[in-house]
Structure 1
């Protein structure tokens, strides 16, 4: 056992003393400048800027499908790549976004379809999450609507129902 410890100690001593060259003498100045450039560019992220962060469909009849388009621009300094767009529930379907990188300054769009179903006489709000290579990693937009008519509530009486709805009541909300 003593021989093993003595051998390991001798090996460590040889390993530490054999490096007679100073480590800083091995650094090439061109590598330092390339690393600085790389690190500066690595801090540049695309920035996802929307024409609107929320779309209000207003009052819609229960079960009436509606659709809207969100336009976005890459206001950052690196190409934007959207990898996924999803909603909090199956009643809201985002689609038609480009999977190709979007250059800085360029714009694109995606659509969001909502099936229009909800509790009659209630407000509904849905969040759409965009996964991209932005600094935050995800961005969100919202759609909202007031569901009128259907299930015993005539469309003409929705104003009374809407005014009697308590503030903050979100009705058929899956968020």
Structure 2
């Protein structure tokens, strides 16, 4: 009986570990995310919980961090790569590790409003190894209140 129980535990551990294997690891110093991009036969799927985040109203010069949650809804590891923002005022940070099937993670973007008064709409473009579109676009939107300007001093 103990032997059957021990065997069942070993099998359960092997099955659990099998799902965590990154098939794109290699000894050639090639980034796994790039290998996943070209392996079109084994793409996965992604679900973005929010593709637009409204940060509300900021004073010019303030910064805000916005989070975009997502989930790997496919069967293969998910890789995000080649992430670009539409402006240098928006800096995205993202997981460079694989996101395995069923896992959730977050892409964080920091928006610096310095020099960007008025309505703001900043895009972030993400490339991924997904069937439901390899390019995804997320948006940060809000309003930036301009700094008050000093009144002009009349010349004598």
Q: Structure 2-normalised TM-score?
A: 0.64
Structure 1 stretches of at least 4 aligned residues deviating more than 4 Å after TM superposition: none
Higher strand share: 2
What residue is the counterpart of 1:45 in the other structure?
Answer: 43
- Matches of 1:81 and 1:47, distance apart in 2: 10
Query: Is 2:118 aligned against 1:106?
Result: no
Q: Count residues with an aligned counterpart.
A: 111
Partner of 2:137: 140
Query: Bigger relative contact order, structure 1 or 2, given CA contacts below 8 A and separation 6+?
Result: 2
Whole-angstrom distance in 2 between the partners of 1:102 and 1:78: 9
Residue 67 of structure 1 aligns with which residue?
A: 65
CA distance in 1, matches of 2:54, 2:83: 19
Task: State the alpha-carbon separation in 2 of the partners of residues 76 and 86 from structure 1.
Answer: 24
Equivalent residues in 2 for 1:80-159, closer than 5 Å: 80-95=78-93, 97-120=94-117, 122-135=118-131, 136-152=133-149
Q: Is the 8 A contact 1:80 1:103 kept in 2?
A: yes
In the alignment, the residues of structure 1 paired with residue 70 and residue 137 of structure 2 have an alpha-carbon distance, to the nearest angstrom, of: 12
Per-residue deviation, 1:149:
3.5
The residue matched to 2:102 in structure 1 has which SS?
coil
Which blocks of at least 5 consecutive residues in structure 2 are unaligned?
Answer: 1-39, 151-156
2 CA distance for matches of 1:56 and 1:118?
A: 19
Q: Which of the two has greater helix per residue?
A: 1
Q: Distance in 1 between matches of 2:125 and 2:116?
A: 24
Which of the numbers 52, 55, 63 marks the counterpart of 1:54?
52
SS of equivalent residue, structure 2 residue 83:
strand
Largest Rg, 1 or 2: 1
